[in-house]
């Protein structure tokens, strides 16, 4: 059997990281088993589905490196293109008396719900329309169409006896008494199929062998299995992942911080870091924390998935991103950081080699690309703002002569502006004025960066270059001596 998994997001908003984790696990399971990963778009909600949301979903998956074998742009993988198939399936169930029209009004359904609440019963449809239509008449019942006056729904005739067993690949067997499962709606009065019905036909038609999703869908699974059986089809295997929760134990939401894939992209996270974090949120392989995508393909299985909820830890994600900041090739970071520099309205005062040299001085400090750009402000802008407290402490009149000597020594280096040459120039000034390195380096740091914290002073000078360094030193001398 060739393994075929699917991911079926709805284009009604941003791609949520809790949701995309299910797609990631489905993707990894397919790749581990040399199978196929199918991307299906559940867009039956015409009012809320948008082209913008669809594009964000597709771009989010591409950014993460998740590649689908079948799916968009092929329209057959959009539920909105499959309504004829859903109508065909619903009519089959009607003709075989496995579904029936329900004429209950919204007021009647609300009264049922309130009665169940008063009597402390599980809310559900009481089946009052189950035998309202004679079996012979079901042969001619048409599907709902408000414009044609067919203002009713179609309900699935659930079995009243026995139990439905979900042999879950992660959680183990789960038994659902059929008496607890009411007759769910499979076609709404507006003529649109419900999720639980449409997904059954999709999973069968696309040959899905394994459905991987969050355990909030577990209550839907016995209902979907019953529809499979009623249609004479074999259900796929199911694997339900524990939910992703916030640190407070509540379902992950915006109050816990950024939750969409694009939000983390825009915060300056690497796709490898987010992917790595999500795969470890409910799965493990020994004590290993960092995985390449090929290692995920090799190691992933359901046996190593946890059965309890995953707790989203923003600090852990930041730590993983910091790991990639230090380990990814500097050329890659240079490519990725350019849009963040442009977003600030800044230009890069050098070529790619200069940008890579700049990044090399900051990658051990910055945890995200946004932070990298913030730390690089003094490299990218000549209009730096010197912290008044730092200036008062380090840019005093008595250091002005030494700063002038440093400027002269560095200016005399010409094209040999290596860190070694810069260090030698500093040492000559230190010897001449009988200063320790810190006594000179800190005023120079304030003059060049505007503050007291930066990479090594020789690195900073080498990246800034001779002309920019000398100009900033001379401006600092003017400040130190009371000039303007």
- Planar angle of CA 362, 368, 372, nearest 5 degrees: 35
Question: pLDDT by residue (tens digit) across 74-122?
Answer: 999 999 999 999 999 999 999 999 999 999 998 999 898 898 888 888 8
Record the tokens describing residue 222, joined without a space. Answer: 């016995």
pLDDT of residue 257: 65
Could you please report the per-residue DSSP string of 18-83? HHHHHHHHHHHHHHHTT-EEEE-B----TTT--HHHHHHHHHHHHHHT---SB-TTSGGGBGGG-H
Between strands 4-7 and 36-39, the pairing is: parallel
- β-sheet with 153-156: strand ranges across: 99-102, 153-156, 185-187
Q: What is the pTM of this model?
A: 0.91
> Percentage of the chain with pLDDT > 90?
85
Is the pLDDT confidence value at 150 over 60? yes
pLDDT of residue 1: 85
Q: Minimum mean pLDDT among 123-127, 211-215, 300-304, 421-425: which range? A: 123-127
Residue 194: CB atoms within 10 A of its CB come to: 17
pLDDT of residue 181: 93
Nearest partner of 31 among 295, 304, 285, 235, judged by Cα: 295
Q: Are 459 and 361 a contacting pair, CB within 8 Å?
A: yes
N-terminal to C-terminal alpha carbon distance within the chain? 79
User: Using DSSP, how many helices (H) and how many strands (E) does the chain show?
Assistant: 20, 11
pLDDT score of 483: 66
CA atoms of 187 and 195, how far apart (whole Å): 9
3-state secondary structure of 153: strand
pLDDT at position 75 is 96
What is the residue-averaged pLDDT of the chain? 94
- 153: closest CA among 145, 163, 161? 145
**CB 437, CB 430: distance < 8 Å:** yes
Predicted confidence band of residue 245 (pLDDT cuts 50, 70, 90) = confident
Q: Give the whole-angstrom CA distance, residue 416 versus residue 410.
A: 10
Tell me which residues are annotated as active site: 254
pLDDT band at 254 (very low <50, low <70, confident <90, very high): low
Q: Is the pLDDT of residue 484 over 80?
A: no
The predicted model gives 202-219 an average pLDDT of: 96
pLDDT for 248 equals: 79
CA 282 – CA 303 distance, rounded (Å): 11
What are residue 39's phi and psi, to 5 degrees?
-105, 120
CA–CA dist 317, 261 (Å, integer)? 13
Could you tell me the pLDDT band of residue 146, with boundaries at 50, 70 and 90?
confident
Give the chain's domains with CATH numbers.
82-241 (3.40.50.620), 254-333 (1.10.1160.10), 337-480 (1.10.10.350)
State how far Cα 237 lies from the chain centre.
26
Q: Which residues of 313-347 are buried (b: 16+ CB within 10 A; e: fewer)?
A: eeeebbebbbbbbeeeeeeebbebbeebbeeeeee
Quote the radius of gyration of the chain (alpha carbons, Å): 32
Within 10 angstroms of residue 127's Cβ, the number of other Cβ atoms is 16
* pLDDT attached to residue 251: 78
Biggest alpha carbon distance in the chain?
A: 109
Q: Which residues contact 442 (CB under 8 A, 6 or more apart)?
A: 394, 452
User: Which residues, 6+ apart, have CB-to-CB distance to 135 below 8 Å?
Assistant: 97
pLDDT tens for 399-457 read 999 999 999 999 999 888 999 999 999 999 999 999 999 999 999 999 999 999 999 99
Which H, E and C letters describe 378-399, residue by residue? HHHCCCCCCCHHHHHHHCCHHH
Which burial class, exposed, middle or buried, applies to 188 when counting CB atoms under 10 A from its CB (0-12, 13-18, 19+)?
middle
Only one residue has tokens 């304030």, namely 446
* Residue 144 dihedral angles phi and psi, to the nearest 5°: -60, 145
Closest alpha carbon to 325 in 275, 368, 292: 368
Lowest mean pLDDT among 100-114, 156-170, 364-378: 100-114
């Amino acid at each position: 059997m060739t393994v075929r998994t699917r991911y079926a997001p709805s284009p009604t908003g941003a791609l949520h990281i809790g949701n995309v984790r299910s797609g990631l696990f489905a993707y990894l399971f397919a790749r581990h088993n040399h199978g196929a990963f199918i991307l299906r778009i559940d867009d039956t909600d015409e009012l809320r589905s948008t082209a913008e949301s669809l594009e964000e979903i597709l771009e989010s998956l591409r950014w993460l490196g998740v590649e689908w074998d079948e799916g968009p742009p092929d329209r057959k993988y959009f539920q909105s293109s499959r309504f004829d198939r859903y109508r065909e399936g619903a009519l089959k169930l009607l003709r075989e008396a496995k579904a029936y029209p329900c004429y209950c009004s919204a007021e009647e359904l609300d009264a049922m719900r309130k009665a169940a609440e008063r009597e402390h019963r599980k809310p559900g449809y009481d089946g009052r329309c189950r035998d309202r239509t004679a079996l012979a008449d079901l042969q001619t019942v048409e599907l709902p169409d408000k414009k044609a006056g067919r203002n009713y729904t179609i309900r699935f005739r659930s079995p009243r006896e026995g139990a439905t067993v979900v042999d879950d690949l992660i959680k183990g067997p789960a038994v659902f008494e059929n008496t607890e499962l009411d007759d769910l709606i499979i076609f709404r009065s507006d003529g649109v199929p419900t999720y639980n019905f449409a997904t059954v036909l999709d999973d069968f038609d696309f040959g899905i062998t394994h459905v991987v999703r969050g355990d909030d869908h577990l209550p839907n699974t016995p209902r979907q299995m019953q529809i499979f059986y009623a249609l004479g089809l074999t259900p796929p295997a199911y694997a339900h992942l524990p939910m992703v929760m916030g640190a407070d134990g509540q379902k992950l939401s915006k109050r816990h911080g950024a939750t969409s894939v694009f939000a983390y992209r825009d915060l300056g996270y690497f796709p490898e870091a987010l992917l790595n974090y999500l795969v470890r949120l409910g799965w493990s392989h020994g004590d290993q924390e960092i995985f390449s995508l090929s290692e995920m393909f090799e190691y992933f299985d359901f046996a190593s998935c946890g059965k309890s909820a995953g707790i989203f830890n923003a600090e852990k994600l930041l730590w993983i991103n910091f790991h990639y900041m230090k380990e990814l090739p500097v050329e890659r970071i240079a490519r990725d950081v350019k849009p963040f520099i442009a977003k600030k309205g800044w230009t890069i005062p050098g070529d790619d080699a200069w940008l890579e040299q700049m990044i090399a001085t900051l990658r051990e400090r910055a945890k995200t690309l946004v932070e990298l750009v913030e730390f690089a402000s003094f490299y990218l802008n000549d209009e730096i703002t010197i912290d008044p407290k730092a200036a008062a402490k380090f840019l005093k009149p008595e250091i002005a002569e030494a700063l002038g000597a440093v400027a002269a020594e560095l200016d005399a280096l010409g094209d040999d502006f290596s860190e070694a040459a810069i260090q030698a120039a500093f040492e000559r000034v230190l010897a001449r004025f009988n200063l320790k390195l810190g006594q000179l380096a800190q005023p120079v740091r304030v003059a060049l960066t505007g503050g007291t914290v930066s990479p090594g002073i020789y690195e900073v000078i080498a990246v800034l270059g001779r002309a920019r360094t000398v100009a900033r030193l001379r401006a600092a001398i003017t400040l130190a001596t009371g000039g303007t």
